[in-house]
Amino acid sequence: MDLKDKIRSIPDYPKPGIMFRDVTTLWQDARGFRKAVDELVQPYAGQRIDKVAAIEARGFILGGAVAHQLSVGFVPVRKPGKLPAATIGVDYDLEYGRDRLEIHVDAIGRGENVLVVDDLIATGGTALAAIHLVEAMGGKVVGCSFVVDLPVLGGRGRLEAAGHTVTSLVDFPGH
């Protein structure tokens, strides 16, 4: 089974010129979803991982399943104001402005090994912000896993240049 065939492409969404890669169609297919989770877990089987940190919102679906498979804790990385207890946050640049991510101040312990998970890597800004939060808490990022990579936007290269291991399951040209 080719996972790429299970991902819907929607032209001109959310704005003209963007080709949106919709992973919800992959999740609707039980075998495809299982295969994607298994392939995200496989590179880390047998490694010491303490937590999976997943980025809002589609990353939660994958991150929860990956954390379950690895028998580790799950840390939601959220937009501002979504977490109920004390948080730390980081602002980061987007193609069209700025945004912010937050995690609870007690989500990651010093020295814990953390796998960062999201559905897609584009420019890498969001993933780098999540990495920054993990490291600010004293955690060590052992890898970053994505279903989709958009290589033309350079996110994987940015993460690898910063010293991080990146796993992705399918590449799409363009964005």
Question: In whole angstroms, what is the distance from residue 81 CA to residue 149 CA?
Answer: 29
Query: CA nearest 138: which of 174, 167, 113?
Result: 113
Question: In whole angstroms, what is the distance from residue 92 CA to residue 134 CA?
Answer: 15
Of the residues 8, 48, 95, 135, only one is catalytic, namely 95
Question: In whole angstroms, what is the distance from residue 155 CA to residue 74 CA?
Answer: 24
Question: In whole angstroms, what is the distance from residue 154 CA to residue 145 CA?
Answer: 15
| Annotation marks residue 160 as catalytic | no
| Annotation marks residue 95 as catalytic | yes
Hey, which bits of 14-96 come out as E strands? 19-22, 51-55, 73-77, 87-94
Of the residues 39, 56, 58, 158, only one is catalytic, namely 58
Q: Which long-range CB contacts under 8 A does 9-15 form with residues at least 24 apart?
A: 9/172
Q: How many CA atoms lie within 13 A of 90 on its CB side?
A: 19
> Active-site positions?
58, 95
